[in-house]
Chains A and B, each alone.
Chain A
Amino acid sequence: MVRVLVPSGALGLGYDTEALDRAIAAGPDLIAIDGGSTDSGPSYLGRGVSKYARESTKAEWRGLIEARAKAGCPLVIGTAGTSGTDSTVDWLYDITVEILSELGQSARVARLYSEQNPDAVAKAALTPLSGAPQVTPEDIAGCTHVVALAGAEQINAALETGADIVIAGRTTDTAIIAALPIARGCDAGAAWHGAKIGECGALCATNPQSGVILVDFDEAGFTITPMAEGANATPHTVSAHMLYENSDPFILYEPGGHLDVNEAHYTALDTRRVRVEGSVWVPSETYIVKLEGARIAGYQTLVMAILRDPRYLANLDDWCADILEKHRAKVDERMTLDPGAWHAELRVIGQDSNLGALENRRADPVELGVMAILTGPDQATANTLGKLMNPYLLHHPLTREEEQPTFAFPFSPAEIDRGAAYEFVLHHVMALSDPMEAFRLEVDNV
């Protein structure tokens, strides 16, 4: 039997410290936590930075390093620092060294690097997944960061170094949990299924915010036990987690194969614990890993105005269309910009700014916000585009005859430079002849 402790869905989300203490007392073989995902958008991968504050990361990571020492088992984090680039692995490594020094502890720390050279990936044979964008080798080579998603094999390679702490770059959410049970001979279907159920911590139970759960794996299945007071796993909460952020709730693709849970059965052992058996792992003929990449799509400046005049609110679409036309003419007249090199958009907040053209309702608002989004090839150009937009948002009249209106600007200066805007480029897989071919390990005694 292999017992994996999952403290929460991600480092930075917090966990119930009393539940963590109880889980440590239960003697886990491994503590595994996820450090990121693409869910916050392309900027974190594009810049190679963490979404969470260093302060939050350090506070929570310190608690897990202390828990690891008490439990006497390895601690693994996957997709360190939100994006799992080399820079975020090293960022968390620096925090780890700082914490170990403050605690007066020593530990063997392995770093698993997942980052790829964009030029090399651009030349590699890639297979697009369903829904992938059209990309050219130049698009891929233009990525600021490309990562490959590691699976169980790479995590096990890191654990086999004898590491107390593994800081992994991009991995699948499940690999950090599934790896050790697979290495110790537990059923592979159970390992991947239990890992998928456990990857978000107590999200598969009642009291989902409490975080801490134990997943026990063996040769026939797995058992989920939430550790917080009042948190219960039921066959419903556990099986429903297969729906979560998953386009197919029965099939899950991982490096080296796929998980099929069509025949899985979920049994309540008591009011708190659920047993699952019958999940099947189907190995693939070739070992493939998924790639993620992001590149700079342009630089942006925002300008915002709030309108409260009922006559303007009733005619806002016309007002916006007129402004975009006049702004375009002014840009053409005063800037030497290729028409394809810049973009201006007005989003009406309070009307359809969430759903855009798919919005099918409209209500009478008290006020509306107009957010101008200017995109250019560099920040200075985007800011100039914003400065040319500014007078229109402040004063543009509906008709020539009326007295010049003035609308509410919440800020001075009105132009807000947003920096680089990134976009995801890759939704592709790459075949490897050896699982470690695209990954690197570094081990230090700290």
Chain B
Amino acid sequence: MSELGQIVQKVRSKNAGPFWLTIDIFCGSSEAFEQVSKGVSTDRVAALFRADPAVVKRFDIAALNVVKFSLPRPTIQGARDDRDMHGAGWAALVAELDIN
């Protein structure tokens, strides 16, 4: 068992506009891509953000060794309860997922 962040090149989260968040997992190799693609379910990612799995978009892009998730932003950018204007901090939650 290891952390996802330790087996991939980089996990990045960014705003995709003020109302959406997008998370890119750059796996760095086809082996790591296979491991992430099979080992990380959409449900687990949705649970990190307390989001409905049905609204989470998922893209497994083998050509780039990237797994991408997009979901409505947990808080609207800049709203009173928002804590991270550029949405970069949420990547840590995904990077810290346990993976077999």
Other-chain contact of B66, A243, A357, A375, A421 (Cβ < 8 Å): A243
- Asked if A397 CB lies within 8 Å of chain B CBs, one says no
The answer to whether A361 touches B96, judged by C-beta atoms less than 8 angstroms apart, is yes
Which 6 pairs across A and B sit closest by C-beta, in order of nearness?
A247-B70, A131-B19, A41-B78, A247-B16, A42-B78, A131-B72
Give A212-262 interface residues, CB cut-off 8 Å to B: 236, 239-240, 243-250
With both chains docked as a complex, state the minimum distance between the C-beta of B3 and any C-beta of chain A, in angstroms.
12
**Which A residues touch B64, using CB under 8 A?**
236, 239-240, 243
A-B contacts besides A130-B20, A247-B22, A424-B18, 6 pairs, CB < 8 Å: A236-B64, A245-B15, A245-B17, A247-B70, A421-B80, A427-B17
**Which B residues touch A247, using CB under 8 A?**
16-17, 20, 22, 57, 70
Q: Provided the pairs A247-B22, A360-B93 are in contact, do residues A42 and B61 lie with their beta carbons within 8 angstroms?
A: no
The answer to whether A427 touches B18, judged by C-beta atoms less than 8 angstroms apart, is yes
**Which A residues touch B34, using CB under 8 A?**
none
**Which B residues touch A243, using CB under 8 A?**
22, 24, 64, 66, 68
Q: How far is the CA of A427 from the CA of B76 in the complex (A)?
A: 11
**Which A residues touch B68, using CB under 8 A?**
243, 249
Q: Provided the pairs A130-B72, A249-B59, A355-B90 are in contact, do residues A297 and B80 lie with their beta carbons within 8 angstroms?
A: yes
- Asked if B84 CB lies within 8 Å of chain A CBs, one says yes
What are 9 inter-chain pairs, A to B, with CB distance below 8 A?
A42-B78, A244-B14, A248-B70, A249-B68, A347-B83, A354-B83, A355-B90, A423-B78, A424-B76
**Which B residues touch A236, using CB under 8 A?**
64
**Which A residues touch B62, using CB under 8 A?**
none
Q: How far is the CA of A244 from the CA of B79 in the complex (A)?
A: 23
With both chains docked as a complex, state the minimum distance between the C-beta of B14 and any C-beta of chain A, in angstroms.
5
**Which A residues touch B17, using CB under 8 A?**
38, 245, 247, 427
The answer to whether A354 touches B89, judged by C-beta atoms less than 8 angstroms apart, is yes
- Asked if A353 CB lies within 8 Å of chain B CBs, one says yes
With both chains docked as a complex, state the minimum distance between the C-beta of B24 and any C-beta of chain A, in angstroms.
5
B86 (CB) vs chain A CBs: closest residue: A39
- Asked if A137 CB lies within 8 Å of chain B CBs, one says no
The answer to whether B50 touches A358, judged by C-beta atoms less than 8 angstroms apart, is yes
B90 (CB) vs chain A CBs: closest residue: A355
The answer to whether A353 touches B83, judged by C-beta atoms less than 8 angstroms apart, is yes
Q: How far is the CA of A249 from the CA of B16 in the complex (A)?
A: 11
- Asked if A132 CB lies within 8 Å of chain B CBs, one says yes
- Asked if A104 CB lies within 8 Å of chain B CBs, one says no
A interface residues (Cβ-Cβ under 8 A, vs B): 38-43, 129-133, 236, 239-240, 243-250, 297-298, 343, 347, 353-358, 360-361, 373, 375, 421-424, 427
With both chains docked as a complex, state the minimum distance between the C-beta of B77 and any C-beta of chain A, in angstroms.
6
**Which A residues touch B22, using CB under 8 A?**
243, 245-247
Give B29-74 interface residues, CB cut-off 8 Å to A: 48-50, 57, 59, 61, 63-64, 66, 68, 70, 72-74
Q: How far is the CA of A131 from the CA of B24 in the complex (A)?
A: 19
The answer to whether A248 touches B57, judged by C-beta atoms less than 8 angstroms apart, is yes
B19 (CB) vs chain A CBs: closest residue: A131
**Which A residues touch B14, using CB under 8 A?**
244-245
**Which A residues touch B86, using CB under 8 A?**
39-40
The answer to whether A358 touches B48, judged by C-beta atoms less than 8 angstroms apart, is yes
With both chains docked as a complex, state the minimum distance between the C-beta of B31 and any C-beta of chain A, in angstroms.
17
Q: Provided the pairs A240-B66, A244-B14, A427-B19 are in contact, do residues A358 and B49 lie with their beta carbons within 8 angstroms?
A: yes
**Which A residues touch B70, using CB under 8 A?**
247-248
Q: How far is the CA of A129 from the CA of B84 in the complex (A)?
A: 22
**Which B residues touch A343, using CB under 8 A?**
80
The answer to whether B93 touches A245, judged by C-beta atoms less than 8 angstroms apart, is no
B15 (CB) vs chain A CBs: closest residue: A39
**Which B residues touch A244, using CB under 8 A?**
14
The answer to whether A423 touches B79, judged by C-beta atoms less than 8 angstroms apart, is yes
With both chains docked as a complex, state the minimum distance between the C-beta of B51 and any C-beta of chain A, in angstroms.
10
**Which B residues touch A39, using CB under 8 A?**
15, 85-86
Q: How far is the CA of A316 from the CA of B40 in the complex (A)?
A: 35
The answer to whether B77 touches A38, judged by C-beta atoms less than 8 angstroms apart, is yes
Q: How far is the CA of A48 from the CA of B15 in the complex (A)?
A: 21
Q: How far is the CA of A245 from the CA of B89 in the complex (A)?
A: 15
The answer to whether B76 touches A423, judged by C-beta atoms less than 8 angstroms apart, is yes
Q: Provided the pairs A38-B77, A247-B22, A248-B57 are in contact, do residues A239 and B63 lie with their beta carbons within 8 angstroms?
A: yes
With both chains docked as a complex, state the minimum distance between the C-beta of B42 and any C-beta of chain A, in angstroms.
15
Q: How far is the CA of A298 from the CA of B78 in the complex (A)?
A: 12
Q: Which of B16, B19, B50 is packed against the most chain A CB atoms within 10 Å?
A: B19
Q: How far is the CA of A353 from the CA of B16 in the complex (A)?
A: 22
